[in-house]
Amino acid sequence: MKAGRIWLLVVCCLFFPASVFAEGVSYIKNDQGLFVAKVELHTPEELKALFDRAESYLASNQDYNNKTSPIAVVLHGPEVRLFQRKNYDKFKGLVDQAARLDAYNIIDVRVCEIWMSVDNTTTSELPPFVETVPNGPKLEQDLLSDGYRYF
């Protein structure tokens, strides 16, 4: 069964056109710069450091407003599990911080649907502020190609 899911992941990554993966995602360019979060370790500590840095960015940027493009946080690994409802009590502080930053348009959290299917995670297990995208790594590469840089 697991080999079948991996094969599905490979097929999706190779054969779906890039336009399908970017569907529904829009970020407004601005003078502040365009940022995408670089998530490498896929740990709660890494996300906490990222969210703390985003809060510092907001505090130090007096020109920030709702027209400023949020930092794209594209998750496509085990860190997605931190946002599952069943793990809320354990990671409440992190999820609440992400929700607050999302509400103030500081970050925009997106989760990879391919990773979700391999992990048997459903959209209903995630908080309402977390959106899904068909292919997280592809979205991240598209954003970098469009002028985003790592935050």
The predicted pLDDT at position 20 comes to 32
Is the distance from CB of 4 to CB of 117 less than 8 angstroms? no
Q: How far apart are CA 63 and CA 81, in angstroms?
A: 34
pLDDT 10s per residue in the chain (151 long)?
444 433 333 334 333 333 333 333 333 344 457 887 787 767 999 999 999 998 887 777 666 565 678 999 999 999 999 999 999 999 999 999 999 999 988 999 999 999 999 999 999 999 999 999 999 999 999 999 999 888 7
What CA–CA distance (Å, rounded) separates 102 from 104? Answer: 5
CATH number for the domain whose boundaries are 2-150:
3.40.1260.10
**pLDDT reported for residue 7:** 37
Hey, what are 108's tokens?
């925009």
pLDDT at position 28 is 38
Going from N- to C-terminal start, the domains of the chain cover 2-150
Question: What b/e string do you get for 41-50 counting C-beta neighbours within 10 Å, with b at 16 or more?
Answer: eeebeebbeb
What is the model's pTM? 0.73
Q: What is the pLDDT of residue 66?
A: 59
What is the residue-wise DSSP string for 84-133?
SGGGHHHHHHHHHHHHHHHHTTSEEEEEEHHHHHHHT--GGGS-TT-EEE
